[in-house]
Amino acid sequence: MRRIEIFRKDKSTAMKDIENSCKIALVQAEPVMFDKSASLKKTLQWIAEAAAQKPDLIVFPELFIPGYPVGMNFGFCIGKRSEDGRKDWKRYYDASVVSGETEFQQLAKAAQETGAYISLGFSERDAVNGTLYNSNVIFEPDGSYKVHRKLKPTGSERVVWGDADKGYFPVTTTPWGPIGSLICWESYMPLARVALYQKGITIYISPNTNDNPEWQATIQHIAIEGKCYFVNADMIVRRSSYPSDLHETDAISRLPELVCRGGSCIIDPYGHYLTEPVWDKETIIYAELDMRLPAACKMEHDVVGHYARPDILELKIYDKSCGDHE
């Protein structure tokens, strides 16, 4: 059986010399829930603040526009919906972003002005159908971008966002090697991780809303497994983050005051904390990544290279983002 590897078809992801240092600004912040305009304004403010330190890469959490509605169910139960829940869902739908439209144009301009790559989680509203997607976009300094849609929303996320129908594993070529993202619990999909490893990523971005202590063990494991930097981009969500005029007041009132504590951090390819997790506050975490490490760490362990057995195990990927039938 023929071994199929995406990175052999994509010259942009071939192993080559890269720059030795990448400066990152990791934003841990509270979104402006259900408000697209205010969310965009806050995003641009954080970008401007980070830009003063001249980072190469600026990273935001999952669904930062227009926020991750933790604890809400939008009136869904098995076999039934409520009209009040439908109104809240429509409000979230209206606050979601269509790729390429006005909000993207402003974010692309910010990338051009700062000269940085910008990774941002957002609720994507499809331009044609009525489906929302939990998506992450990476803007390049020239204003171009690639969008990744979450392959499989987790649990009751499925009543809000659909399964990805394209943009499965896009990677962005940078001076520091290919970078890509998986969103939150996508990282618990082992084959999805391998799909990124096969593309040679050096920086693995994880926009998420996961302050569970077990998650910290997960991200250390992934950094070791993939021999890459793991950027854990989490957010702050408070009960007061939710608009007071939503219909689903009972569910929101039962939430703790601090709904999501953050925990953003950066893990190096050895599985060590380059920056320790930050809890309970908005901040920007700055760090210099030694980009010599991802290759150096592969001396004894390269999960898609000399530590693989393609004659026994292979991964086939049907990736619409590159138009190939893998």
- Closest-CA residue to 18 (of 299, 288, 224, 292): 292
Interatomic CA distance for residues 180 and 182, integer angstroms: 7
Residue identified by tokens 């205010």 is 38
> Which residues are tagged catalytic?
62, 150, 184
- Closest-CA residue to 262 (of 68, 118, 48, 52): 68
Interatomic CA distance for residues 112 and 122, integer angstroms: 20
Gap between the terminal Cα atoms of the chain: 13
Pairing of strands 172-174, 145-149: unpaired
Interatomic CA distance for residues 112 and 145, integer angstroms: 11
And the tokens for 85?
Answer: 């829940």
Cis amide bond preceding 66, omega within 30: yes
Position 84: which residue type?
D
Q: Using an 8 Å Cβ cutoff, are 246 and 198 in contact?
A: no
3-state secondary structure of 107: helix
Cα-based distances in Å from 299 to 66, 153, 316: 43, 36, 26
Interatomic CA distance for residues 280 and 278, integer angstroms: 7
